[in-house]
């Protein structure tokens, strides 16, 4: 993780560290979006230099290496909290410890595991953050991740990007929604690659509506995401 933070700090010239991290999260999530988020990538890239994009690519490579060494661990969330520092609590953002996430997943995913008539397990995470709780569920269901259908929501766009990255890299079928779970407002939505693989029709509809941009609220409301 230190290598990731070190690389991102080199791209922080004239900008706050939190802004650089948010940009890194958006570029990385868009790059993992299978073309679905191409417009977002290009829009963010306009604000960056070639050096920034190279540093972001190197940081993502180091992140993947670190993740391989610590399976299903929310390293992104940890880095994010470190970048925000004392300002994190001001925005109501807190990192849930992995031990708590694993305890909660063991309570939810007890045998017999509740499934629908198609043999699928539906999970709704109304305040997903970087996806630590989802990763704990994925770890518990590592040999059966393909039957998971996760709907992850967060009011923070940065958190949504982090959750998209985490769930994509760990192969957990997820639709990430930038929205307010309390007011039921939605501003954008993305299906990650694992979701595209197991639910191609729904994911194709989502991609067709988005055309490389975040899905509009009216379009999101029309979808049966899971």
CA distance 21 to 138: 25
CA distance 80 to 65: 18
Is a pLDDT exceeding 50 seen at residue 223? no
Decide: 219 and 188 in contact? Cβ < 8 Å.
Answer: no
Domain holding 23, by residue range, is: 2-88
Q: Bridge-partner residues for 125, per DSSP?
A: 152
CA distance 171 to 148: 10
- What is the rounded average pLDDT for all residues in the chain? 85
Calculate mean pLDDT across residues 81-85: 80
Question: Looking at residue 92, what is its pLDDT?
Answer: 62
Q: Are residues 111 and 214 in the same domain?
A: yes
Question: Looking at residue 213, what is its pLDDT?
Answer: 47
Q: Pick the last residue of a domain from 21, 54, 88.
A: 88
Number of domains in the chain: 2
Which band of pLDDT confidence, cut at 50, 70 and 90, is reported for residue 224? Answer: very low
What's the CATH code of the domain at 191?
Answer: 3.40.50
Residues 6 or more apart whose Cβ sits within 8 Å of residue 50? none
Decide: 179 and 143 in contact? Cβ < 8 Å.
Answer: no
Helix (H, G, I), strand (E, B) or coil at 11: coil
Calculate mean pLDDT across residues 132-142: 94
Which band of pLDDT confidence, cut at 50, 70 and 90, is reported for residue 98? Answer: confident
Question: Looking at residue 221, what is its pLDDT?
Answer: 39
CA distance 146 to 167: 12
Which band of pLDDT confidence, cut at 50, 70 and 90, is reported for residue 147? Answer: very high
Question: Looking at residue 178, what is its pLDDT?
Answer: 93
Q: Are residues 19 and 70 in the same domain?
A: yes
Q: What is the DSSP letter of 50?
A: H
| pTM listed for this prediction | 0.87
Q: Are residues 116 and 218 in the same domain?
A: yes
Decide: 178 and 187 in contact? Cβ < 8 Å.
Answer: yes
Residue 104 lies in a domain: yes
Residue 200 lies in a domain: yes
Decide: 144 and 173 in contact? Cβ < 8 Å.
Answer: no
Q: Pick the last residue of a domain from 43, 66, 88.
A: 88
Q: Are residues 116 and 212 in the same domain?
A: yes
Which band of pLDDT confidence, cut at 50, 70 and 90, is reported for residue 56? Answer: very high
Q: Are residues 143 and 184 in the same domain?
A: yes
The CA dihedral of 147, 79, 39, 191, to the nearest 10 degrees, is: 10
């Amino acid at each position: 993780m230190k290598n990731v933070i070190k690389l991102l700090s080199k791209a922080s010239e004239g900008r706050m560290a939190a802004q650089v991290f948010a940009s890194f999260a958006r570029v990385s999530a868009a790059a993992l979006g299978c073309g679905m988020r191409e417009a977002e990538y290009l829009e963010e890239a306009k604000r960056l230099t070639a050096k920034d994009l190279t540093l972001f690519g190197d940081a993502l490579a180091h992140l993947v290496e670190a993740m391989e060494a610590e399976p299903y661990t929310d390293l992104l969330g940890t880095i994010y909290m470190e970048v925000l520092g004392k300002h994190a609590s001001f925005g109501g953002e807190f990192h849930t410890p992995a031990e708590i996430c694993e305890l909660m997943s063991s309570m939810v995913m007890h045998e017999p595991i509740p499934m629908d008539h198609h043999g699928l397990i539906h999970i709704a995470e109304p305040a997903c953050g970087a996806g630590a709780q989802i990763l704990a569920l994925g770890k518990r269901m590592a040999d059966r991740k393909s039957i998971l259908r996760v709907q992850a929501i967060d009011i923070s766009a940065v958190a949504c990007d982090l959750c998209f990255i985490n769930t994509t890299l760990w192969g957990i079928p997820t639709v990430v929604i930038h929205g307010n779970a309390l007011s039921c407002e939605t501003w954008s939505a993305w299906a990650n690659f694992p979701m595209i693989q197991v639910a191609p029709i729904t994911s194709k509809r989502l991609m067709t509506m988005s055309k490389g941009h975040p899905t509009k609220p009216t379009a999101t409301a029309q979808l049966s995401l899971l």
